[in-house]
Amino acid sequence: MAAAAAPAPQVICLGEALVDRLGPLGGDPATAPAEQCDDRLGGAPANVACALARLGTPGALAGRLGSDAIGEAFRQLFLSRGVDQSALQSDPVRPSRIVLVRRDAGGDRSFGGFAGDRGEGFADQALDAAALEVALSPLLREARWLQVGTIPLATPASAAALKAAMKLAAQAQVAVALDVNWRPTFWDPAAAPDAGPTAEALAVIRPLLEQAALIKLAAEESRWLFGSTDPAAIRAALPQQPAVVVTDGGAQVAWCFGSSSGVMPAYPVAVVDSTGAGDAFLAGLLHQLCQQPQLLDGGSAEAVRFASACGALVCAGAGAIDPQPTQEQVDAFLAGRL
């Protein structure tokens, strides 16, 4: 008897898959001994795809990895999670990217440069637009969402691929979820970790903001891009009136979905590592929206509660992917907090 076909991806996550090299708490991964560092598979789109799969929503990762040990580790991870790899490219020259992640004594992280570049750049920067279009077209016939971030815009080739994907999504009437995920180091390796977008970066980010049906921003990103942390004000500033979520680390999350808006405090947890918490939050939200598409217009505090629980559970473990919860684990977490 033939095996059943895998379910079609409901969410296509486009962008980087990379290794987060976590330094020791309070230390520098660039100088710390290898035994004090912790290499974890990550990258926002890869994190979201894996988190969705663990929650039970089929997803795909559209990106580009090196033909190296990191690339093979990701392919095995995606295979084990059931993440569709049909739009995942292999680069024969450029390596997969390693990001150096500093963690303070409380587990909060900042990005401090890269490792592994052999002079040709990294595989994710060379995402091929033509090959991507061929692979994406059949996936978009069945998908509900294309999830993107701004990092591919930092390099010409990957920027062209992202713009092509956005055009295809519009033609297929597939909604776009944008996690701004501003990371200045990807645009300028010499930039301070807390630097905001330049005028040039803002200009290339704007078209994404004006197409997305759902936008997730950190509080500092919302101030840089809109001069406000009020989701309703951000929604009103954009022509398509998207759903907007503004997260503020361990403090709170605010949202405006159609006629529904609100604010809720983040769930308090003992933070081991906050890497990937926002990605787990977004995956939880998209999981809810795939199950109940009407929430995009009417909104739901319950959907935000579910997403917040996903983020909190990831903070309680090391790395972005290993601690990602199942639907049952999220339900149990929430049941203990009613």
Domain boundaries, the chain: 11-335
Query: What's the whole-number mean pLDDT along residues 260-272?
Result: 90
Higher pLDDT, 335 or 22: 335
How would residue 26 be classed by pLDDT, with cut points 50, 70 and 90?
Answer: confident
How would residue 338 be classed by pLDDT, with cut points 50, 70 and 90?
Answer: low
**Residue 250 and residue 241: Cα distance in Å, rounded?**
27
- CATH superfamily entry for domain 11-335: Ribokinase (3.40.1190.20)
Rounded mean pLDDT of the chain? 92
Q: Is a pLDDT exceeding 80 seen at residue 13? A: yes
Q: Which of 89, 111, 90 is nearest to 100 (CA)?
A: 111
Q: Is a pLDDT exceeding 80 seen at residue 4? A: no
pLDDT value, residue 300: 77
Residue 71, C-beta contacts closer than 8 angstroms, at least 6 positions apart: 65, 90, 96, 123
Query: What's the whole-number mean pLDDT along residues 179-199?
Result: 92
* Both structure tokens of 56: 């039970």
pLDDT value, residue 203: 96
Residue 25, C-beta contacts closer than 8 angstroms, at least 6 positions apart: 103, 104, 105, 107
Instruction: List, for residues 290-334, the tens digit of each pLDDT value.
Output: 999 988 887 678 899 999 999 999 998 877 899 999 999 999 999
How would residue 131 be classed by pLDDT, with cut points 50, 70 and 90?
Answer: very high
